[in-house]
Amino acid sequence: MNIGIVGAGRIGSSVAKLFAQAGHHVVVSHSGDPQALAPVVAEVGHGVEARTSGEAVTFGDIVVLAIPWSRRHDLPNSQLFANRIVIDAINPFDENGKIVNLGASTSSQEISKIVPEARLVKAFNTLNFQTLRDGGRSSHEDRLVLFLAGDDSQAKEVVARLIEEVGYAAVDSGFLAEGGRRQQPGSPIFNVPMTVDEARRRMTSLA
């Protein structure tokens, strides 16, 4: 599968490595010259190349958004995202690392306003980059969980398979509004490495 990643920071480079190791073709990008990403490409290794953000979007069967919250309005033209499965891995932290108050909304609901025709799935946002990069397991026993949320059931199935391919257990947290809220920073399931059993217990407490 072709996967385009918009953003090449800690999360973006971590998932790029996971996807490439699973045999996918990956394009990473950021807001500047793709040549500046040569160190990222070298670190990730085989199966990864750097292009512009727009090229990453059009390349991807799946597109991952892994940019800072403050840069969300700098995404490529929204029409490029139409009908594509888009994984929103963005967390709403400001430039000082504080959680942004979104009121009754969630970060993914806000992203969906920017890319309204995308098949949006919230995922790959609930573990820190080090755990995400190193915590995958080939055995299904006691795998750590990655949560996902979205309104498109078929898109969620594709993302769930991708999560499993890179060594994690996929747990559906609900639709984009309710599940997205459960996956927000500050939630009992955010940035807490856990197995499926623990995830189910915590999800029950959030119901």
Residues 200, 108: contact at Cβ < 8 Å? no
Instruction: Tell me the pLDDT tens digit for each residue of 78-90.
Output: 999 999 999 999 9
Token pair, residue 104, equals 């009754």
Please count the CA atoms within 13 angstroms of the CA of 195 that sit on its side-chain side. 7
Average pLDDT, the chain: 94
The two tokens of residue 148 are 């996902």
Distance CA 54, CA 64 (A): 12
Q: pTM here?
A: 0.95
Provide the pLDDT for residue 117. Answer: 97
Q: Is 184 helix (H, G, I), strand (E, B) or coil?
A: coil
Domains and CATH numbers, the chain: 2-206 (3.40.50.720)
**How far is it, in rounded angstroms, from Cα 79 to Cα 82?**
5
Low-confidence ranges of the chain (pLDDT < 50): none
pLDDT above 90: percentage of residues in the chain: 87
